[in-house]
Structure formats: C-alpha cells, structure tokens
Structure 1
Amino acid sequence: MVSVQVVEAFIRGKVSDEKCEDTIVNTPDFIGIVDGVTSKSNFTYQGKTTGKLASTLIAGVLERLPRDAKLTALIEQVNQEFAAFYDRIHFTADRRSQGLQAVAVVYSRFRNELWQIGDAQINLDGRLLTNPKPSDLVLSNMRSLILRLSADGQQQDPGRQAILPWILKATQFANSTDREWGYAIFNGQSIPASLLKIYPLTQEPHEIVLASDGYPRAATSLAESEAELRAVLQNDPECSHQYRSTKGVVPGNRSFDDRSLIHFKVTPAE
C-alpha cells in the first residue's frame, strides 16, 4: 500500500463559493475532483443546481465506496444514486441534455490508479493528461469566430447564445461509442470502456495534481495553475483567443467557470 500526502487543495466558485458546482473528495482511500456540468436549466432542488447535485452525489458515493472498488463499481453506484434521485423528484426537463451531469478525476490508493471520466485534468509528474469533449473543441472555435465577427455593443456574448443549442444537441453523444464524437460523463447511463481512461501508476514516487477545467491548464502546483488562469482572465476574459472556451467571464463573476484543484504526493510503502 502506498502513502499519500496532500500538499494543497483549493476550490473557488465562478459566482460564489456557495454556488460552486465542483466538489473535492479527500478520503483515506480516494482523492478526487468532481466537476458538475454547468446547469442549462432553472431547476434547483434544495437550493442546488443540477451540476451541484451531481457532484455532491458522486462525492458521497466515493466517500462510501469500498477501498478495493474498481472504476466500473463507481459508475454503477453513481448510476444507482442518480436513478434514486429521479425516482423521488419530479424532474420535467430532458434528462440527457439538462439533467444531472458531472465529470471527475479520481485517485484510488488501493489500486494505485488514476481514473479520468470526462474532461477534468490530471498533471502526473509534470505531464498533462487531458480528455477534451470533441464537440466542445469545435464549438469553442465557432464561438471565437462569432465574437470576432460581432460588432461591439451587441448582445452579451452572442457567441455563447449561438452555440448553446448545439451544446445541448451534442449531449446525444454522451457515453456513445461514436468514435469521432463520443465522450464520457456521469449522467446515469452506462459508460463504454473505450471512453474511460485508467492510468496505473508505477511503484515509484509520484507527484499529482487533479483539477477541473476551470483552470486553463492543471500545472504542477496551485500557484502555477492560478497564475496561468490569472493571465487568461486579464488578457482574454472572453476566453475567445488566448484560451478558447464555450463560455467567457460573465460580467460580475470571478471567473469563466468554477475551479477546484488538489495536489498530492504518492510514495511507495517501505
């Protein structure tokens, strides 16, 4: 069994910390970042958006998960939690495009593995491991083009308004085996093995950073990750050229997205 030492952890909501849809998990057996997908509806339950509900439910599963569980067991138990939620709550919006959705990166101490489900980030010994959603890459470029062609003084973020219907339509590729557009996400469905990324670690010391995509890049430390984010917020708050995204900073918000990060070291047992 390896030894794990958490160096630092940080979470900050784009609007406020209370409304943050990210969740950090830190138990003796699992370390993780769970990023609830930005809510696309006005639905709330007990004051929580669909993104916050999803990340909270997944974090709860990780806190109860048997230490020797595989990634498939995590997915199965999350799906059971989502199904139980829908059974007791009257949810009228389309579940696939506007329901509970989240991505995550998780470290299993027992298995000494990193699990990547969706587009949250891993920095493993200085090597960045990303898993972007294919449709988001296209739509980020489309939004950038629209903003470039739009005259000043137009509606707030016409690029976001233009791509939002396509963001919703692209959810048809969620957990799809489509080789070009399929992507992994926790949404209550089974997730094809081909979309899951599992990184077994060697029996050597490792330094790891897990982060949500509220950071342009998960660097090797919190300070470096924050510095890169700060440069984007100062130079490209629309997130349309230096760092292209499907959304920019809404006036009055602190950033373009919620962000969370946990930095830890893994050392083989003596």
Structure 2
Amino acid sequence: MAKDLMLGIIGGMPADASMRQMQRAVDECFQARYRSHEAGIRVFADEPVERLQVNAVVYSARRHEAWLFGDCQIMVNGVQTPTTKDVDVLLGDLRAFTVLALREMQDGTPDVPISGSFGAPASDAAPKDPSRAMILPFLRLQSQFANKRGPFGYFVFDGFTDMTYPIRTVPVSPGDEVVLASDGYPLLRPTLDESERELQRLRSEDPDLIDRYRSTKGFQGRATFDDLTYLRFIA
C-alpha cells in the first residue's frame, strides 16, 4: 500500500517540486489514509510499528538533483553515495550472531532440533531461518527510531517525518550516467548485468548473509533476499 501511494504521489507532483514539497505531500497522503482507517490516526501516532513505511530515491530532472529518502541507492558516474543505516548494521550483526550460535548448538547437540522463535509467531519466520524469528522483537523495536536523530535514527516515509531531517541530495549534471536502485542489490555496480552477477555470487558464497554482507535475512533458497529495482539512465 505504501509503495502504491508513493508512486501516485511522485507521478502527480509538478516538475519543479522541491524535495520538501515531495516530503510534505507524502506525509499528508499517509496521514489522510490513517484518518480514514477505522482505528483512527492516534493508533498510528502512538505505535510506529503499525505505520505505512516506504523509502524512495527521487530524481528531479528540472532541479538536476536526486533525493535519497531512506536507504535506496544512487550511483553517479560510477560513484556510489553510502546509505547504510546504523540500525541495519547492528541488527545484521545480531542476526549473524544468532546464526552462528545456532550452528554451534547444532554441532554440539545434533539430535536436538533448533526451533526457538522466542515468542514470535511462526508465520513471521522464514521457513529455514529461526534466526530471523529470534531477532524479530528487535526489528519491531527499530520503528521507535524512525525519523529520529541520533545513532540509530533513520528516515522513512511513514506519515510522521521531520521536515528538518537532513536528506541526502546528490547533484546530477547533464550527461551524467545515473543508477538508481533498491537495497536488494547490496553490491551495486554501474550496469544491471554486473549488479546481478554480484548478487548471484553473493547468493553462492554467502547464502545466509552473515559474512560478505550482513543482513537481517538470508536468501533461504530464493533467488533474492529483498526487493529488486534498478534503473540506469543518462541525465
């Protein structure tokens, strides 16, 4: 729902819209959806984990710049702008810890099955990844830092953003080669083919995503571990 609303907002913005106009339009749209919900807007104001959440990188051709709302990625002329969140590093390390600890338990007691979702509903766990279920309480706690300043704070469109939050703005000049991508391509490269090869190499060499690239979830037999969006163009 958040993605569909976001696409509608971007498509309806005037060409000369500013970064803050874009941010305000998303907030207003999301809050209108909350007010129309039977639970009422107060639930979403008080419980960040219940909110719509979406990130985006938006390119303004008129203003010759791109806006990094959250952890989507951009590369201009082969130079990538870092967007990794501190909280993602922390929880990626925590999941790597749980994966390795569970392996040690299995090595020590091979006849004891590993389940232990620590109270998390079974539906929230990936089929073969109990570590995901074990860190789920921390993933839910993460929402407390949404749009907050400080070491674990991060920006996310949720209807309650800070209009003074520092948004990375990347200048783009005519003739620049630009890549916009979601974080499903953790090893971003200047072409889609190269990025896909890196993704498949990662899947082969580190399928649990605890070594070369630490994530809060692994491939678990799938072709990818996260959403994949990749766009390359000449400005």
Verify same fold: TM over 0.5.
Answer: yes
Task: Give the deviation of 1:213 after TM superposition.
Answer: 0.6
* Larger RCO, structure (CA 8 Å, separation 6 or more): 1
Q: Which residue of 2 aligns with 1:243?
A: 213
Q: Which residue of 1 aligns with 2:35?
A: 87
Q: Which residue of 1 aligns with 2:201?
A: 231
Work out the CA distance in 2 between the residues paired with 1:150 and 1:230.
25
Q: 1:109 aligned to 2:61?
A: yes
Work out the CA distance in 2 between the residues paired with 1:225 and 1:111.
28
Q: Which residue of 2 aligns with 1:184?
A: 155
- Within a 5 Å distance, the mapping from 1:26-175 to structure 2 comes to 53-91=1-39, 95-151=47-103, 152=106, 154-155=114-115, 156-175=128-147
Work out the CA distance in 2 between the residues paired with 1:254 and 1:227.
12
Q: 1:197 aligned to 2:168?
A: yes
Bigger radius of gyration among the two: 2
Task: Give the deviation of 1:103 after TM superposition.
Answer: 0.8
Q: 1:208 aligned to 2:178?
A: yes
Task: Give the deviation of 1:195 after TM superposition.
Answer: 3.2
Q: Which residue of 1 aligns with 2:124?
A: none
Task: Give the deviation of 1:159 after TM superposition.
Answer: 2.2
Q: 1:262 aligned to 2:235?
A: no
Secondary structure (helix, strand or coil) at the match of 2:71 reads coil
**5+ residue gaps in structure 2?**
107-112, 116-127
Secondary structure (helix, strand or coil) at the match of 1:193 reads coil
Work out the CA distance in 1 between the residues paired with 2:39 and 2:176.
43
Task: Give the deviation of 1:194 after TM superposition.
Answer: 4.2
Work out the CA distance in 2 between the residues paired with 1:238 and 1:132.
19
- Report if the CA contact (8 A) 1:175-1:195 is conserved: no
Secondary structure (helix, strand or coil) at the match of 2:131 reads helix
| C-alpha distance 172-144 of structure 1, shift in aligned 2 (>3 A) | same
**5+ residue gaps in structure 1?**
1-52
Q: Which residue of 1 aligns with 2:122?
A: none
- Report if the CA contact (8 A) 2:27-2:160 is conserved: yes
Count of residues in Structure 1 that have an aligned counterpart in Structure 2: 211
Compute the RMSD of aligned alpha carbons: 1.8
Higher strand share: 1
Work out the CA distance in 1 between the residues paired with 2:185 and 2:208.
15
State, as a whole percentage, how many aligned pairs show the same letter: 34
TM-score for both structures, normalised by structure 1? 0.73
| C-alpha distance 208-188 of structure 1, shift in aligned 2 (>3 A) | same
Higher helix share: 2
Task: Give the deviation of 1:174 after TM superposition.
Answer: 0.9
- Report if the CA contact (8 A) 2:155-2:161 is conserved: no
Task: Give the deviation of 1:197 after TM superposition.
Answer: 0.5
Q: Which residue of 2 aligns with 1:8?
A: none
Amino acid of the structure 2 residue aligned with 1:256? F
